[in-house]
Structures are given as C-alpha cells and as structure tokens.
Structure 1
Amino acid sequence: MSRLRKITRRQAVLLAAAALLGAAIGGSALTGHIGVALAVLAVVMVALTAGLILVLHRLATLGREARRSQREQRAVLDQTQRRLLGAVEQMLLLAGDRHRELTELLANSQKLTANGTDRLLRAQTGEVEALIQMFQGFSPRAPMPTSGGFALNPTDLLALLHIIHTRRPKLVLELGSGTSTVWIAYALEKAGGKLISLDHDAAYAEKTRIALAAHGLTAVAEVRDAPLCPVVLDGRTFPWYDTEAVADLNEVDLLLIDGPPEKTGKDARYPAMRVLEDRLADTATVVFDDAHRQDEAEALRRWVEMIEGLTQEGEALGRHAVLSYRRVVRQFTPSN
C-alpha cells in the first residue's frame, strides 16, 4: 500500500487503462465475444510493443548521452590533470630558481657580514689604539668626556692633536663644542695657544664649560653662546652662528668646523669659510669634520673653487678633511 501511495498520476492513469483493457478482454471472453477479446488483446500487444520500443529508444538515447558526458568529463579531467601537472612543474621550476637566488643571497650576505665584521673589528682596533696614544700624550686632571657619536672619534681627535702639536697655532676657533674642546684645550695648554669654541645650544655649551672647569682649562679655552641666525649667501638663507660671537676674533691659525649639526638644515656648514675667511690668519689650517657626507663634500668642493688660497691637503682621512689657507694679497700699481 505504501508503494501505491507513491505512484504518480501518469502511472495511475496507465494502471487504470490496463485494468480497463484487462476487464474488457475478460468480459468479452466470458460473454463469448472471442473476436472482440482478441482484437482488444492485439491492441494491447501493439501498445506494449510500441511502449517497449520507446523505452528502448529512450534507454539508447540516455546511453549515448551518458557516454558523451563520460567523454566530456574524461576530457575535462585530462585537461585539468595537464594543467595541474604544468602548474606543479612551473612551481617546482620557480622554487628551484628561488632556492638558487636565496642560496646566492645568503652566501653574499654571509660574505658581506664577514667583511663588515672584519672592517668593524679593524676600525675598533684603530680607535682603541688612537685612544691609548691620546692618553699617553696627556694626563687628564678629571674624567674625560666620551668620544665618538656626535663628537670627534679618537682617530680624528688624534690627527687633530697632532696638527696642534706640529703647527702650534696661537688661536684656535672651534665650531661646535664638546669632547674635542677638552682635548684641544689640553693640547693648547702645552703648545701655548688659546681656544674659542662656539655652540648654538646654550645647555650643551654650559655642559662643556663645566667639563673645562673640572679639568682646570678655563684659562686656555672659552665657550661662547652663539645661537643660530639667518645668514644670506649666494641668494640663499642659512641658519648659522651669530656672527657677533666672533666679532672680536682675528688671526685665527686653526679653524675646526664641527657644527652646526646636520639636523639644523641642508648645507648647514657651508657658510663657515665664507663668513670666517676674513677672520683667518694669513696662513691658517682648516679641519673640516664629517667631510665624507654629501652636503659637506659639496661645501668643500665649492670652497676650494671660490676661495683663493684654499687648498685641500691630500685625500680626506677618516671623517675629516684638512685644508691649508694662504691669503692672496694683490698689489695694485698706481696708474700714471
């Protein structure tokens, strides 16, 4: 009964028609109408045969569609497999190339690291050796401030102290105070000179004064406050030390350019030689710190081109460059 409830309307109609035909055949046979019964039976057989033929045709069509679908699925599967294999092969090739690149990069990095470490160790050794030589030449009367960082490093300081020892300047002007101020003051104490140091930072200038006092060097070195003021050169405005701080200075034998700091503006140290040339002695030495930086290297080039009598002494060593200055005096003959 449950199956009968699940049949469709079309199936129910067919079952009803079959039942009627069966009843007609049976009734005709029972009533003696054999001819009618045979005719109805023939109709049923023809209908069954036609239905069977239709079913077989439908099954054949479904078979063909199924085979075509299988062929299409097989083609899609084959194409997918080929694409997948191609993608995997491409990934393997790319992975191999990337592996080689990473291997080469790692090897180069290791080489650079080894070279960098070796250079760093050599540089540290040089700084330690320079520091030892500096302390061998002087006996500080108080703890010395640290060198390096923003201050002159030991190798540059040692070269500067050697210049003071050999050239014995009477007046040294330093732009930017700090550790170097104390070392220069010790050197000038021996050489018999005097140091004037400018600093745009009042707090830092006071810190340097305290260090000089602790070492008993205030008679040799003076730190002056010189806030940054606009200076116009070549149509440009630069923030530079207040020129009133050097208004009383003449015959500067040694000029150390170690300020203003880079952060105060582009080409911050370019005005130094343009402003101070007239304050230099007829024969003077200029030490230019951080000459390896782009702005400072450009300033150095322009100075040498523009200022007569200014020449660089060989290549820059370490972070500083040394220049010689000889004032060019032109003699004018009176016209008749």
Structure 2
Amino acid sequence: MSSLTRFGGRLAVRLQSLTRPQVIVLIAVLAVVAGIWTAAATGHQGLATSLVAVLMLAVLLGILHLSRWMGGLHRANQAAHRDLRTVVEQMQRRVVATVEKERLTAGDRHQELHRTITKGLRQYGHGTDLLLRAQSREIEAMFQLFAEFTPRAPMPSSGDFALNPTELLDLLHLVRLRSPRLVVELGSGTSTVWLAYALEKTGGRLVSLDHDEEYASRTRDMLDAHGLTAVAEVRTAPLSDLSVDGKTYRWYDVEKLSDVRGIDLLLIDGPPAATGPDARFPAMHALESRLAPIATVVLDDANRPDEQDAVRRWLENVAGLSAEPRLLGRHAVLSYSRSGSRASAVPA
C-alpha cells in the first residue's frame, strides 16, 4: 500500500510539473482512450477501431515531433560543443603566446640583470681597488708625517673636512723647502696644528682665519695643548659682503688681517662651499696686495668645479701668478711674483 502511495505522490508531482501544452495533449489522449473504452463497451466496434487509429496516429506524430526535437537539441549541442572547442583553442593559443612572450621577456630580463650584475661587480672591484690604493697612500703619508714631527699632545684627526695626510705631507714639504716667514691660512683646524709644528722648526709664524667662533676656539685649544701658541694664532673673522668685479660674495672680514703684510705662503682652505658659490674666489682679490713679492698660494679642494674656475680666473687676471706641478693631494699650488714697482704699492 505504501508503494502505491509513493507512486501516486511521484505521479502527482510530475503532473504538476507539466506545461500547459503537455496538459492539453494528456487530456486529449485520455479523452480518446475513454472514447475507445466507451465505444468497445457499447458494442460500437467501428468507432472504437477508428479511435484506436486516431490514437496510434497521434502517438506516431508525437514520436516524430519528439525525434525532430531531439535532433534539434543534438545539433544545438554539437554547435555549442564546436563553439566551446573554438573558444578553448583560442584560449590555448593566447595562453601559449603569453607564456612564450613572458619566457622571452624573462630571458631578456635575465640577460639584462646578468649584464648589470657583471658591470656592478666590475665597478665594485675597481672601486675597492681604488679605495685600497687611496688608503695605502694615506697610511704611507701618515707614517711620513709622524716620522718628521713628534707631537706633544694627541693630534686631531685628518680627512673629512680637514686636509688628509697626503695633502698635509705635500703642504709641509713646501714649508720645509721654502721656509716662509709668514703663513696665512683661511680656515683653521687640523692643518693649523701641523703647520705650526713645521713653522716651529723653520722659525716662521702662522695666522689662521675662521668665520666660526666655536671652531676657532677649538683650534686655539689644540694649539695651546701642543704648546704652539707662540708660533700660531687663530683669529675669528665673520663672513661679510665683499664686492669683486661687480659681484657680491660672502667672505672673511678683511679688517682682521689689517696688520698682516708680506704673506709668504697663503693656504686657501675656506670659506666652506656651503657658504655660497665661488666661496674661495675672492681670496686673491682681497689678499694679493698683502702677499710678499715672491709668494706661494695653495688652494685646497682644487678638484671641485668652483675651485677649478677660480684658479683659471686668477691665472687670467692676476699678473705674476703661475701654476706649479702638483705632487700629492687635491690642492693646486700657484707661484706669485710681483714686480718691484708693484711691491712698493702694498697699502698701509
């Protein structure tokens, strides 16, 4: 009984899912079957046979219709399959093309990266070699410096903003060869102490200018610690406006050297480049008249564009100034010679 109930339930669900045309067809078939049953029961055999024929014809037509529908569905499925296969093939071609392009690009990038790394390694090796050579030069120069002088207190460090050992060695070599009686240094620091030791041996005197009072004070303390105050002095000279050829520069207060005459060696190591462009160019304009008739001018940081331009302009415009060969370091050495008539024109 339960099986029959379940069958009835499934049948009812299927009947509810029929479309309207399907319901009409079902009702027509049931009507024909009912007509056949009624005609057979009442003895109308001809009518029953006719209704059976109609039913068979309807079934045949239904089978034909179903066959056509299934054929159309099959053709639609085939068309969809062909379209899907075309899409898949196109996607495969695109994927393959993309992968190939990325592979080629990756290969190019790999080659470029390899070239870059190789170039970097070569440059690094070259740079390391240059650094080691530079360090070797500085160490050798430092040994020579301490072999020449015996400091009476710890020496300030060289390098960075101060003159490095090779430059100090070259500078002190000039002092030893030319025995200047008066040296003027623009910008105080480590070089002030070394110069003072050298001048102590030769009997010369050092005047150093510095625009920074704190830095000048530290240099004075170093000179005092080394017992060199009788040889060297540091004067604070604040920066002020100085006009040269119609252009204004920030340079040391020239009045701080009003009592200085006959400079045998002028070391230009200031003002710092941070104070303005062409910061050191005014030096010859301001101090040429205070140089001795025969003098030496040393310009530090001559590897920089501003300093190179300053040297060029000095050589073009300052009579009696000529360049000397450079031995060590990054400074330029210039010789100055004034004629007798100009020697007497030093202002009071």
TM-score of the alignment, normalized to the shorter chain, above 0.5: yes
Name the stretch that deviates more: 45-54 or 202-211.
45-54
The residue that corresponds to 2:13 in the other structure is 5
Over residues 240-270 of structure 1, what are the superposed CA-to-partner deviations in whole Å (9 max), with x where a residue is unaligned? 1112212222221111111111222222222
Contact 2:170 2:327 in 1 (8 A): no
The offset of 1:288, in angstroms, is 0.8
The residue that corresponds to 2:112 in the other structure is 101
Structure-2 change in CA distance of 1:94 and 1:328 (3 Å): farther
Which whole-Å CA distance do the structure 2 matches of 1:197 and 1:106 have between them? 49
Q: CA RMSD in A?
A: 2.0
Structure-2 change in CA distance of 1:15 and 1:319 (3 Å): same
The residue that corresponds to 1:202 in the other structure is 213
Residue type of the alignment partner of 2:49: L
The offset of 1:328, in angstroms, is 5.3
The offset of 1:17, in angstroms, is 2.8
Over residues 126-159 of structure 1, what are the superposed CA-to-partner deviations in whole Å (9 max), with x where a residue is unaligned? 1111111111111111111111111000000000
Which whole-Å CA distance do the structure 2 matches of 1:316 and 1:228 have between them? 32
The residue that corresponds to 1:66 in the other structure is 77
The residue that corresponds to 1:42 in the other structure is 53
The residue that corresponds to 2:276 in the other structure is 265
Residue type of the alignment partner of 1:154: P
Query: How high is the sequence identity, in percent, across the aligned residues?
Result: 53
Structure-2 change in CA distance of 1:60 and 1:287 (3 Å): same
Name the stretch that deviates more: 27-36 or 276-285.
27-36
2:321 to 310, 320, 327: 310
Contact 2:170 2:328 in 1 (8 A): no
The residue that corresponds to 1:141 in the other structure is 152
Matched, 1:164 2:175: yes
TM-score (norm 2): 0.89
The residue correspondences of 1:224-263 to structure 2 (distance < 5 A) are 224-263=235-274
1:29 to 12, 35, 40: 40
Which whole-Å CA distance do the structure 1 matches of 2:339 and 2:18 have between them? 121
Residue type of the alignment partner of 1:42: A
Which whole-Å CA distance do the structure 2 matches of 1:126 and 1:204 have between them? 28
The offset of 1:317, in angstroms, is 4.2
The offset of 1:53, in angstroms, is 2.2
The offset of 1:329, in angstroms, is 6.5
The offset of 1:330, in angstroms, is 7.1
Over residues 195-241 of structure 1, what are the superposed CA-to-partner deviations in whole Å (9 max), with x where a residue is unaligned? 11111110010000000011111111110101111223344332211
Which whole-Å CA distance do the structure 2 matches of 1:147 and 1:98 have between them? 46
Please, which runs of 5 or more residues in structure 2 have no aligned partner? 1-8, 343-348
Matched, 1:131 2:139: no
